Amino acid sequence: MGRNFFRIFCPQGLAAKRLSVLKSLLLQWFTIRCKLELLRCVPNASWNKSRQVPGTCFPKVSLCFWRRTHALWVAMLMMVALPGQWTRAAEIDWSSACERMVQHSLASAGIDNPRVLSAMRNTPRHRFIPASQRANAYYDMALPIGSGQTISPPFIVAYMTQTIDPQPTDRVLEIGTGSGYQAAILSPLVADVYSIEIVESLGKRARKTLRRLNYKNVHTKIGDGYKGWPGHAPFDKILVTCSPEKVPPALVEQLREGGRMVIPVGERYQQTLFLMKKTDGKLTTEALEPTFFVPMTGHAEQLRNQKYDASQPRLVNGSFEQGKPGDTQLQGWYYLRQGKLTAELTAPDGQQVLEFQNTTPGRGAQVLQAFGVDGRTVHKLELEISIKATGLRPGRSDQEMAHLEISFFDRRRAPIQRKVIGPWQGNLPWEKKHEILRVPPQARLAVLAVGMFGGVGQLSIDAVRVQRIDSP
């Protein structure tokens, strides 16, 4: 979702690309050298059948060719016979990137359960996502995994896992297997994980991945998670990774007395993550924070009453007037890091603004909001934001700077375009930024992200608006 979106500096993608390029160049070099040496040893390159070894297509070549190329053949055989030597550097990069993710995106953001941090540190997230997305594996961001589904950001996975308080004797039900990553995180923390996926292709792929990585206590099946898994109920904990409009009754029934369930509930683009505890057969609920998950499909989608009109894209609470000063959870916005509502007499719109402050280069300080946009009917968007800055400067690199970005995704949630407004630095009085954006025809979803993105200083924002433009 953008080069600087919720990212830590992770070199593994660059290392993997360099490795691939190196191998490709070596193969090309080997082929060219062999051809050149062959031409040296065979003066007439266009030989006829009389110059071929009987029964083959190989020319009759003196020992000259083999003497000149034997070192090349040995090098190629070593490259094939010792693949570990070619991948070890990339594996070291994966490990280092994972550790940075744990430190920068999890531990510094409030994940403090040592068992959960250990599971996040020891689970290879890059093995659960498509090869085309692996360069982004250890950034704190959602990634497409196919069939319109995504793998959740690492922070959300860790946060939900920590919230259900996993115990070694627990039997956990997961709704929405997806890639299998969440189930793999739970595996070393509990006795058994039962995971349901409604998309058959994803469920089969996740099962293969989990088996290949030897997660023996994870049990999967293809089915509608709205109905739960009654054959293995009751469950000590239930973790739902897709959003219904209301809590499925079957999940309440299958939750053990005293058990805990974490579930995102709400409309298509405005959801809240809830912790629910079962006491005397009833659920007590605690709202945790705004969030954004893929919708629960199947029977849950048929029961959905609130429909979102993607032909009229809009933001919620763009003036930050809902809430009170000091709030660190915002109506309509999610994944807020190092930001809070602040009273501001000179606010461009109302009396409150959202203020970010970061003193640690590389540490995240941003907020997000998703909205539907149908590129078939919406061709242009008008974007406005007012900003004020004090001492803004880059973080660990020039890529870590305060800015706003909008990323567009197609119906399968694959990224198709990203537009950046900024970056901003220095000291700025209140200033309105205005931009006209072209919407890709294949767009169905957009995510707006704004903040420091690893930069240092103080940034205040207000009056964030998005609306369609019908003029040519």
pLDDT digits 0-9 by tens, 246-275: 999 999 999 999 999 999 999 889 999 999
β-pairing verdict for 366-372 and 445-451: antiparallel
Rounded Cα distance between 290 and 272, Å, is 4
Average pLDDT value over all residues in the chain: 85
Rounded Cα distance between 291 and 72, Å, is 56
Rounded Cα distance between 52 and 130, Å, is 46
Confidence class for position 72, pLDDT limits 50, 70, 90: low
Higher per-residue pLDDT: 356 or 76? 356
pLDDT of 163 reads 97
- Name which of 22-36, 142-156, 227-241, 323-337 the model is least confident about: 22-36
Residue 328 falls in which region: left (phi positive, over 0), alpha (psi -120 to 50) or beta: alpha
Candidates 154, 156, 150; CA nearest to 176 is 150
Residue 192 falls in which region: left (phi positive, over 0), alpha (psi -120 to 50) or beta: beta
β-pairing verdict for 171-175 and 235-240: parallel
pLDDT of 24 reads 62
Query: Does 154 have pLDDT greater than 70?
Result: yes
User: What average pLDDT score do residues 327-341 get?
Assistant: 93
pLDDT of 458 reads 97
Q: What is the DSSP letter of 289?
A: E
How many CB atoms sit inside 10 A of residue 124's CB?
Answer: 15
Confidence class for position 4, pLDDT limits 50, 70, 90: very low
How many CB atoms sit inside 10 A of residue 420's CB?
Answer: 16
Candidates 401, 324, 415; CA nearest to 130 is 415
pLDDT of 415 reads 87
Residue-wise DSSP of 351-373: SEEEEEEE-STT---EEEEEEE-
- Name which of 91-100, 349-358, 462-471 the model is least confident about: 91-100
Rounded Cα distance between 408 and 267, Å, is 20
Candidates 231, 225, 159, 235; CA nearest to 192 is 235
In contact, 460 and 388? CB cutoff 8 Å = yes
Higher per-residue pLDDT: 425 or 42? 425
Rounded Cα distance between 281 and 4, Å, is 46
Helix axes 83-101, 114-122, angle to 10 degrees: 150
Rounded Cα distance between 390 and 162, Å, is 36
Tell me the pTM.
0.76
Query: Does 18 have pLDDT greater than 70?
Result: no
Query: Does 418 have pLDDT greater than 60?
Result: yes
Higher per-residue pLDDT: 320 or 299? 320
Candidates 60, 62, 42, 64; CA nearest to 50 is 60
pLDDT digits 0-9 by tens, 31-71: 666 556 555 555 444 444 444 445 444 444 445 545 555 55
Domains in the chain, CATH or no CATH each: 1-111 (no CATH), 113-302 (3.40.50.150), 339-469 (2.60.120.260)
Q: By 3-state DSSP, what share of the chain in percent is helix, strand and coil, each rounded to 5?
A: 30, 30, 35
Structure tokens at 458: 């103080």
Q: Taking the alpha carbons of 245, 251, 252, 258 in that order, is the dihedral positive or negative?
A: negative
Q: What is the DSSP letter of 232?
A: G
Q: In what order do the strands lie in the sheet with 192-197?
A: 218-222, 192-197, 171-175, 235-240, 255-266, 271-279, 282-291
User: What average pLDDT score do residues 191-201 get?
Assistant: 96
Candidates 403, 394, 398; CA nearest to 366 is 403
Highest mean pLDDT among 131-135, 306-310, 423-427: 423-427
Candidates 376, 397, 395; CA nearest to 442 is 376
pLDDT digits 0-9 by tens, 374-408: 999 999 999 999 999 999 999 989 989 999 999 99
Q: Which amino acid is at 408?
A: F
pLDDT of 7 reads 36
pLDDT digits 0-9 by tens, 82-124: 444 344 434 448 999 999 999 988 998 899 999 999 999 999 9
108 counts as catalytic: no
Query: Does 127 have pLDDT greater than 50?
Result: yes
* Residue 231 three-state SS: helix
Residue-wise DSSP of 137-182: TTSSS-EEEETTEEEPPHHHHHHHHHHT---TT-EEEEE--TTSHH
pLDDT of 40 reads 58
| Per annotation, catalytic residue among 132, 147, 152, 311 | 152
Confidence class for position 413, pLDDT limits 50, 70, 90: confident
In contact, 378 and 439? CB cutoff 8 Å = yes
pLDDT of 302 reads 87
pLDDT of 5 reads 36
pLDDT of 411 reads 87
Rounded Cα distance between 54 and 59, Å, is 9
Q: Taking the C-alpha atoms of 428, 434, 440 and 444 in order, what is their torsion angle to the nearest 10 degrees?
A: 80
